[in-house]
Amino acid sequence: GAGGVNFPEKLVHHLNEQESKSENKWMIFDKDVLEMVLEEHNLPKEIKKFMPEKKVSEFQDVIEQLFGLHPNEHKLIKKVSDTILHLSHIGNVVFVGRGSNIITAECKYGLHLRILDSLENRIENIQNYFKLNKVQALKLIQTEDKNRKNYVKKYFNKDINNPLLYSLVINFEAFNTEDVIQMIVTEVQKLKKRISFEAGSK
């Protein structure tokens, strides 16, 4: 809910406006990255339900694998990571969640963002977007925050709140949405110029 639930879509829209002549349009991958994973690795659609951003207890995980109730989670996460890396090499992509900043940490021209906002603003954004009351919105935020934190800890052994995992940490309490978008667009343009310069110097 930081900066509004649809902030990634707004960002991609502005990036495409800035590069209107480019044939390589910017795309966003959130939950739909799973569709790409299933397609790229020829996996059955039923596997999708076993790949949420939430931690399954180790005991439950072992028991279910022993009895063949679902595939090995770490193998599925490896396939997710492989697909995210593949898409990042194509370029002009925005990923949301799934430890994508960690997966692409070694990508030379990546920009890894952490966006923050006050709990009050996040609750209001979630309420407006999903048409929930305040209690429901708070519960959704707490659940999603916990799931993402546990997902990153379990599969990457990282603390999602560590600022060193990000290129930019942006506080929406200090900036409005348009300012943040322009800030990111400017950084992307700098990266693109560096890519062009380095490609031309080879």
Residues 64-89 have pLDDT tens digits of: 554 455 556 677 788 778 888 888 88
- E-strand spans in 46-119? 93-95, 113-116
Q: Lowest-confidence range among 12-26, 52-66, 88-102, 159-173? A: 52-66
| Distances from the Cα of 151 to the Cα of 6, 25, 67, 145, 154, angstroms | 22, 30, 23, 10, 5
Residue 132, C-beta contacts closer than 8 angstroms, at least 6 positions apart: 126, 140
Would you say 88 and 6 are in contact if contact means Cβ atoms under 8 Å apart? no
pLDDT number for residue 27: 85
Quick one: pLDDT at residue 201? 64
Find the range with the poorest average confidence among 5-9, 141-145, 193-197: 193-197
| pLDDT tens per residue across span 26-51 | 888 876 665 666 666 565 555 445 44
